[in-house]
Structure 1
Amino acid sequence: MSGVIVTDPPKADVKDVEALAGYGVATVHEAMGRTGLLGTRPRPVQQGVRVAGTAVTVLSWPGDNLMIHAAVEQCGEGDILVVTTTSPSTDGMFGELFATALKRRGVRGVIIDAGVRDTAELREMGFPAWSAAVSAQGTVKATGGSVNVPVVIGGQVIRPGDVILADDDGVVVVPREDARRAAEASEARENKEAASRAAFLEGQLGLDRYGLRTTLERLGVRYQSYDEYVRDGAGS
């Protein structure tokens, strides 16, 4: 497998990235029309952490972390390393030493559709990681791959410079040219949710706030007392 290392790709505007950093993955995903979520495989090795940054992408051979070494050189302040493999892998391709080098360069975290190891050390040093697996299985450095090319995780295309947002709920990608629109839509959604939260604290029901009683009626869902329910034989 040959490959390419692309240098200086375009990136989302820093201000737009920082604006998105104020919102959770679920909010951004919903605000974008339920798009961009990288599925359920990337899970955090820590809790209570949210990061946002621009993607530096890596396409590696399974069980081979050579191209992660190559990608470190391409990483800088505010980036998030995003790694996937040419076929499914759970090997521990990323650990404490990579995190040390990346943290020195201002990288905010790693998303890897394979395995990580040294998870206790990653938590202790405060380097966030989301991975498909945790494995002590080591890797080799023998096969070419690519850096800063489009990759696919969970059915979502991630290009270098796209915005990555990750928290306890998962990981979402925002195309770099849509970052500002996504931030504005996320703000609007959060304001709407704040209004609903206040209403629920006052005792309002979601059935009424969202007009769902007419939906139930349209779907043929009816209210029935327990006695009626038993009399009709449904409760026997």
Structure 2
Amino acid sequence: MQELGIVHRTINRASRADVEALAAFAVSTIHEAMGRLGLMRPYIRPVYPTARLCGTAVTVLLQPGDNWMLHVAAEQVQPGDVLVAACTTECEDGFFGDLLATSVRAQGGVGLVIDGGCRDVASLQEMDFPVFSRAINSKGTIKATLGSVNVPVVCANALVNPGDVVIGDIDGVVVVPASRAADVAESARQREANEEGKRQRFEAGELGLDMYSMRQPLEAAGLRYIDS
């Protein structure tokens, strides 16, 4: 059971160089480079289409319908951090809006991922403050019950430890453990270079059937071509 009422003020963040390296790649590339791991559930979506983020996680455990701990977490934000908020049970209330975004940005925060709701989307888009959320919901929240800050959380089925790297784009959100950040960035670079080579071959008209040597296994599986 997760301990409540705790704020860890010292966390081990992935290095700035590793975060910047990962920021160059798409979520899908990073997910594949990490061995098809780290993705949050696909219901976590950007609240506006151009939202994108990459930063180190300050984690928040919320109680349903209560955003008290987001205000507590804002004090722990350092430049380049992303708030990652989970809830003790499913809740789609509007935990976060433009005022909290203003507060988080003033501390150097670069976005939010929340397994819950947010609101004030037009203002968030105008601010270009990236939020990835479970829902958009105008329903307000209270400030009455303790959660925790900078503890391990499970957000949309992904384990997030404080200081991990969180990357979000139009395809979703992926989490890279801080200890793997450098290796995953290098694997993503290699994968992207390999994909560029394949892209050029596709543009030249080569088929995936031949590039990936699919014809023989397809024949062995029983695929038949009929011309008449």
Bigger Cα Rg: 1
Match of residue 225 from structure 2 = 223
1:156 Cα offset (Å): 1.5
Match of residue 85 from structure 2 = 83
1:124 Cα offset (Å): 0.4
The amino acid that maps onto 2:158 is Q
Q: Contact 2:94–2:138 (CA<8 Å) still a contact in 1?
A: yes
1:153 Cα offset (Å): 1.9
Match of residue 36 from structure 1 = 38
Segments of 5+ residues of structure 2 without an aligned counterpart are none
Q: Distance in 2 between matches of 1:164 and 1:218?
A: 42
Match of 1:96 among 95, 98, 120: 98
Give the alignment of 1:171-190 within 5 angstroms: 171-190=173-192
Q: Distance in 2 between matches of 1:220 and 1:154?
A: 40
Match of residue 54 from structure 1 = 56
Matched, 1:202 2:204: yes
Match of residue 167 from structure 1 = 169
Match of residue 13 from structure 1 = 15
1:192 Cα offset (Å): 0.6
Q: Distance in 1 between matches of 2:41 and 2:54?
A: 17
Q: Contact 2:51–2:129 (CA<8 Å) still a contact in 1?
A: no
Give the alignment's Cα RMSD to 1 decimal.
Answer: 1.0
- State which drifts further: 17-26 or 100-109: 100-109
Q: Contact 1:110–1:128 (CA<8 Å) still a contact in 2?
A: yes
Segments of 5+ residues of structure 1 without an aligned counterpart are 228-236
SS in 1 for 2:140: coil
Following TM superposition, the consecutive aligned residue runs of length 4 or more in structure 1 with deviations greater than 6 angstroms are: none
Match of 1:125 among 127, 131, 144: 127
Q: Contact 2:51–2:128 (CA<8 Å) still a contact in 1?
A: no
Q: Distance in 2 between matches of 1:205 and 1:45?
A: 37
Q: Return the TM-score normalized by structure 2.
A: 0.97
Q: Distance in 2 between matches of 1:74 and 1:173?
A: 20
Match of residue 22 from structure 1 = 24
1:34 Cα offset (Å): 0.7
1:41 Cα offset (Å): 1.7
Across the two proteins, how many residue pairs are aligned to each other? 226
